[in-house]
């Protein structure tokens, strides 16, 4: 099974700051990587798929990059509505999620 290691587990940032979350796969997942945002009490929402494609309706301050085993999610100009947990997911070989990153405002 492919393991996904996500870092950091928690993150505190200020409004307007740029934030980066990392995800490492235990083997090459050939860009089969998605990022989800989950607000408290809500279901996850798709942000990024195929490592760097922005899902419909997602603000352009979100972006994804990476290849092979290393991937990242970047949030430019952090907004208050971005406070949430973020999860990566590999779908190259079945489906596994990273442990999540809880993003809070400083």
Q: x/- binding map, residues 9-48, to other proteins, per CB under 8 A?
A: -----------------------x-x-x-----xxxxx--
Considering only the stretches 17-25, 66-74, 76-84, 89-97, report the one whose residues sit in contact with other proteins under the rule CB under 8 A: 89-97
Q: Contact, 3 vs 96, CB < 8 A?
A: yes
Strands (E), the chain: 4-7, 10-13, 19-25, 33-38, 45-49, 53-54, 62-67, 70-75, 84-90, 96-97, 101-105
Q: Is 86 in the site for other proteins (CB under 8 A)?
A: no
Binding site for other proteins (CB under 8 A): 1, 32, 34, 36, 42-46, 49-50, 55, 87, 89, 91, 94-100
């Amino acid at each position: 099974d492919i393991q996904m290691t996500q870092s950091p587990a928690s993150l505190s940032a200020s409004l307007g700051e740029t934030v980066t979350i990392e995800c490492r796969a235990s083997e090459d997942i050939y860009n089969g990587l998605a990022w989800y945002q989950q607000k408290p009490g809500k279901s996850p929402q798709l942000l990024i798929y195929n490592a760097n494609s922005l899902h419909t309706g997602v603000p352009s301050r979100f972006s994804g990059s990476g290849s092979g085993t290393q991937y990242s999610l970047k949030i430019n100009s952090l907004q208050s509505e971005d406070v949430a947990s973020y999860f990566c997911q590999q779908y190259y070989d079945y489906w596994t999620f990273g442990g999540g990153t809880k993003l809070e405002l400083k």
